[in-house]
Structures are given as structure tokens and as C-alpha cells.
Amino acid sequence: MKQETFTDIEYSFRKKKTKREEFLEIMDEIIPWDEWVDVIAPYYPSGKRGRPPMGIEKMLRMYLLQIWFNLSDPATEDAIYDSYAMRRFTGIDFLKESVPDETTLCKFRHLLEANGLNKLFFEAINGVMVKSGHMMKGGTIVDATILNAPSSTKNADKARDPEMHQTKKGNEWRFGMKCHIGVDAGSGLVHTLTVTAANDHDITQAAALSREDDKVVYGDSGYLGIQKRPEVANNENYSKIDFRINRRPGRLPHVSEKAIDWERYIENRKSSVRCKVEHAFRIIKCQFGYRKTAYRGLKKNENRLYAMFASANLYMLAIAGRKLSTS
């Protein structure tokens, strides 16, 4: 049993918990720490030479704090020194050890990126959710969102990120990347993720976001005509899917005020199912604050998104009052 410090005793007498504390307690309880540590262990330095490495779980907790609160490497280190809730989440005791510095965190992040470990976290969590019945098969909702990237050329290369691109959405020009997700129609949990430059059309990734055993796929009007795509029409499984795509409002027929507008009613029913995809985007953009890319290049940002959507799935599971069973 861990001995309480004077700080722990002092904080135990507070009348109210902050939202940050409540969020960290939820994530601490639902994340399968042992399984994630086992994924990292084969790639982590053994410590046979030089300074002994920091514990894997401690570094993983520090990395997750970074992506959940959208912090830089130095800001993450400072936040743990400054915030009692973050320090308790990482399990760091100032009487025995110090906080890993920003260089150590940077090297740990590069380790995850080089070996694609965040994708393994995402796939492992989804595999458990399918086995435990939290994620049902048979229906998928597809959607995409644009994540802005810095458009400034004030850098060493005197150029913008070559893997990003500009696109026009409505009357506004955006520069960045596009995140495409496939969401389980029953539970609203994300099961597939792809990233492209912002100018790639949503429909190009629709087949990759669908599962071969899906019977129905929902999407907005950006996916109209998906049945004619060669990757769908020439695939035995995808060609059998019922694509329920929302029509553009301007294309719906006008009816009199006294008549029942069945066409609009059908579109509203499609939208009532499709809206589940926005919950995952809300967590990523509003709760985790990831509205702008953190790194240059698609691969690094994709790696970060895998960890964020794995965390978002677990968080949605927790707030729904369900638990993840890994046994």
C-alpha cells in the first residue's frame, strides 16, 4: 500500500473534484495498462547499458497526458510538476524520483511512431470490444473532418508541409490533412481510421472504412455515387452493401404544406443514425483540443490519432457505464 504524503492528505479534504481529476480517474480505471505495457515491452530499451530506463507504464501515462491535453514536450513536463491531478495519475513521488524530462518523452514518442505501436493499441482495444459485444458488426457510418496545419513558411525549409494540401470547404480555404473514420452504427465506436491530404475527396476512402461483413453503410452527401466506384462495384462483399447516403437538401422534391414530406422524413432518419459519428470527432477536437496538426507529415499525425481514437473509444465506453473485459 502506497504511503500518503502531506499533499495527498491536504487534497483529500477538498469539497469538490475538478473535471480534470474526474476524467483522469475514469481513464485510469478503464485503460488496460498491463496489455498496453506488454505491447511496448519488446521494443523498449532493456537498460543493460547506460542509465536505467524509466518504467514503461510511467512513460505511457505521461505520453497519454500529452495527447489528451494537447501539450508540447516541455509543457507536459511542467504540467506534471504543476498539477497534483496529473502527478497522481502518473504515479510520480517527488520524494523518490523526478519527472522524466522533455527529451525522454520525445524519445518515447519516437519509439511509438517508429514501430506503429499506437495502431496496435487501437486494434487491440477494438478486438476486445468485438469479443465482449460492445462493438457490433453489420453497419458502419463513414465521415471525415479536416485538421488544419500551419500554413506559414517561416521555417528552415521556407516551405509548407509537402504532405499537407489546401482545399476549399464552403467559401473558406483550409490547409491541412483529412481524417477519415468508420464508426460502428450500433455503438458509435470507431473501428477504422485513415488519413489523407485535405484535398482528397471523402469518397476515395469509403471502401477502406467499410468492413467486409457490413450490410449497411451510412454517409453524408459527400459519398453519393459510391456504388459506382470500382473498388466497391468490383468487390464481391462491398457490392452487396446497402449504402444509405443522405441526399443534398436542394435535390429533395418540394411538397405542399398539408402533404407529408416522406422524402425528407427518410433523410432525417438516416441523419439520426449518422450523427453518432460526430461524437468521436467531438472528443478529439473539443475535449482533446486536437484541431490543428501537431507534427509535420501524415504518418506522425496518424500515429497520434490512433492513440486518441483508442482513448476516445474507451472514454465513450466508460461514460456509457460499461467496462472493458480483457479476460
Written as one letter, the residue type at 253 is: P
Judgement on whether residues 247 and 107 belong to the same structural domain of the protein? no
Query: What are 227's three cell numbers?
Result: 456504388
Domain-located, residue 266 = yes
Sign, CA torsion 76/82/87/88: negative
46 phi/psi in degrees, rounded to 5: -75, -25
In a domain, 326, yes or no: no
* Distance (Å, whole) CA 107 – CA 50: 15
What the block records as the C-alpha cell of 249 is: 437538401
State whether 160 and 285 are in the same domain: yes
CA–CA gap between residue 153 and residue 160 (Å, rounded): 5
The CB density around residue 274, as the number of other CB atoms within 10 Å, is 20
Among 192, 193, 188, 243, smallest CA distance to 219 is for: 243
| 168 and 284 belong to one structural domain | yes
Read off the CATH number of the domain in which 289 is found. 3.30.420
**The whole model's pTM is what?**
0.90
pLDDT per residue of the chain (327 residues) written in tens, 0 to 9: 466 666 666 666 677 888 999 999 999 999 999 999 999 999 998 767 766 778 899 999 999 999 999 999 999 999 999 988 999 999 888 878 888 899 999 999 999 999 999 999 999 998 888 888 888 778 999 999 999 999 888 888 888 889 999 999 888 999 999 999 999 998 899 999 999 999 999 999 999 999 888 899 999 988 999 999 999 889 888 888 999 998 888 777 777 676 667 788 888 898 898 999 999 999 999 999 999 998 999 999 999 999 999 999 999 999 887 777 655
Please check whether residue 126 lies inside any domain of the structure. Answer: no
Strand partners for 147? 177
Q: Which three cell numbers stand for residue 254?
A: 418540394
- Assigned domain for 317 exists: no
Residue 219, in any domain of the structure: yes
The upper half-sphere exposure of residue 114, i.e. CA atoms within 13 Å in the direction of its Cβ, equals 9
Query: Quick one: 12 and 84 in the same domain?
Result: yes
Nearest to 293, CA basis, from 308, 276, 279: 308
Q: What is the structure's pLDDT at 166? A: 93
| pLDDT attached to residue 61 | 95
Residue 79's domain comprises 6-115
- Of the three residues 52, 81, 115, the one that is the final residue of a domain is 115
pLDDT at position 18 is 86
Residues in the chain: 327
Q: Are residues 86 and 231 in the same domain?
A: no
Centroid of chain to Cα 303: 10
- pLDDT recorded at residue 11: 65
**Counted domains in the chain:** 2
Nearest to 179 by CA among 43, 55, 94, 283: 283
Note whether 186 and 265 are same-domain residues. Answer: yes
**From CA 311, how far away is CA 318, in angstroms rounded?**
10
> Is the same domain home to 142 and 51?
no
Kindly state whether residues 71 and 209 are assigned to the same domain. no
Single residue among 70, 85, 115 that ends a domain in this structure? 115
Q: How far apart are CA 324 and CA 125, in angstroms?
A: 9
In a domain, 304, yes or no: no
Give the Cα separation of 260 and 246 in Å (integer).
19
